Chains A and B, each alone.
Chain A
Amino acid sequence: MIKKPEGLYKLESYRYFRSVLTAPVKRRQQPFFYVTLYFFAGFLIMYTFSTSSCPVSIIMAVFALLCFSSALTIGEYLRNSPSLATLMPISERKKLIYRFTSSLYLLLRIILYALAILAIIFIIAIIVVGITMAVEGDGGGAEEVSGDSSAIVLMGKYGAIFSVAFVIICFSAGIIAGYFKKTSNKNRFILGFILAVILAFIFTGLPYAIHHRGDLSVDTRIVSPFIESCYDNMPVPWLCSIMWCLAAAGSLAAAIYFGIRKMKASEY
């Protein structure tokens, strides 16, 4: 016999999240969906990787991407009605709030899975290295690897603000994309969002490139907005940060507004 809610199931938000995942999902998405998502992922990772030596900035870029994907995935599940989530006996307001928390639960789940996979890879690597060293004898040639202790410092105040703002923007964009019922509208929104992100990245990094034009060092490229040096040559870097914060607040407000509008429409 199954007993009444236990463990995480005691949380209503978690119960909602679990009910979302029981929805029937269409097996075949349009190729456009995957192409744009892979393109977005590729752009974010490669751009950040090639314009920054700061590992935290790459982690933040990947994190923002995961936020976007998890919010979008929850939206995809909720687009398929009827589903247990839409029938759950809770108020419409709670359903709206839990749409956000469900995206966070999914994000957490993805991160936990990724960490578990990384841990397995790490353990395997240790075993392989151990065996290799045992075979080679005293472990000659082993070098001490030092981490980049200044990684977080490299992001700086403005880079950190941008990271948080960008994560919120991606999360909100994923939530908004999930509201679209028509696939064509959703695809147009995703495409527009990705183009806006690319342009915003380029324009934010432009002052640095203009300042260093003619210099043939590695730093002459456009730099990632995740790191401090991107803001070094801006006359008013705080204004840039404020604009990104406003964009984040605006996108989050839009995500909430569309949710409330959807909620009102279901209150006939």
Chain B
Amino acid sequence: MYGLELENLCVDFGNFKLDNINLKLRRGCITGLIGRNGCGKTTMINAIMRQLEATGSILYNGKPYKGNEEEIMNSLACVFDKPHFNQNLKPKKIIKIYNAIYPDLDLGKYYSLMDKFRLPHELKLSKYSFGMQRKYCLILALCRNADILILDEPTSGVDPYDRGEIMDLIQEFIMDENRTVLFSTHVTADLDKIADYVVMMSDGKIILDTDKETLTDGYRLVQCETLTPEMQASAIGVQKSMFGYVFLTRDKDIKEGEGVKVKVPTIEEAFVHLQMDKRGLEL
């Protein structure tokens, strides 16, 4: 069963198009969304969250939006790429309104997370740092007890210690196997830790949708001093540096040797090389 199903989703801004997006997010899984700046990640998230007009269809837990608006909006929680609150408001005011709007809000969890991340209740949001605002938005999303959690760069500006805490919270959120998480980020190290699936976007299209193991274990990252013709034949996204060459290859039998180092790539390494040479995407 899928938590979120996108079918032929299109958004047209004139100068930018989200082009025929087809994507299925499995329940009980964390799907990482990666891509270069301006590739359409935030546009796709805004379309899922009904913040802009689109064509195509989206099913939330198997249900269309029309006719199920109330249920669906209750089951969706999101951390947007920018704060969606008036900066002059204080958290204590926001939570009062939130509490009135969302009947399933877990206030106990809210207060405990506010204490955990040391966020003051009496301070205006404008006085919060960027990282604090990201954490505040994440707390609001997590204490909603929603079925589908959409995260648009929730850890940007957050210190490494709290990032670790956030990863634990997201994993805890997904524990009951009935929830779905879409996690868009540029900090791919976070996805290395918690993602089950990885979706890669480029120029408004999905160019890769696979499980994390296939992405990382399906390739090898090779560092070598000289590039032989055999290596060149299978090399994907060759990067030249002062120490030699770095490239990705699908040849898993490539052997380490003198001046040749081979390892399983991280998501970031795979992403960088696949962006350089999209021929390598044919898994």
Contact = CB atoms under 8 A, between A and B. Distances in A.
A1 B108 CA distance: 8
Q: Main secondary structure on chain B at its contact with chain A?
A: mixed
Nearest to A93: B69
B67 to A, nearest CB: 9
A23 B65 contact: no
Given A268-B57, A268-B58, A24 B85 contact: yes
A22 B137 CA distance: 13
A50 to B, nearest CB: 39
A21 B94 CA distance: 10
Contacts of A9: 100
Contact of A82 (B46, B54, B71): B46
A181 to B, nearest CB: 10
B122 interface: no
A19 B46 contact: no
Interface string A237-268: 00000000000000000000000000001111
A229 B64 CA distance: 59
B89 interface: yes
Interface residues of B, number: 39
Interface stretch (B16-24, B76-84, B272-280): B76-84
Interface stretch (A62-70, A84-92, A188-196, A202-210): A84-92
Interface string B37-80: 00000000010011111111110000001100111111010101
B267 to A, nearest CB: 27
Nearest to B55: A268
A24 to B, nearest CB: 5
B51 A81 contact: yes
Contacts, number: 84
A231 B205 CA distance: 64
Contact of B70 (A4, A19, A91): A91
A15 B71 CA distance: 17
A24 B107 contact: no
A25 interface: yes
A83 interface: yes
A268 B101 contact: no
A159 B98 CA distance: 45
B73 A84 contact: no
B97 A22 contact: yes
B173 to A, nearest CB: 18
B160 interface: no
Interface of B: 46, 49-58, 65-66, 69-74, 76, 78, 80, 83-87, 89, 94-103, 107
Interface of A: 1-2, 4-5, 9, 15, 18-19, 21-25, 81-84, 86-92, 265-268
Closest 5 CB pairs of A and B: A89-B73, A89-B74, A82-B84, A9-B100, A91-B69
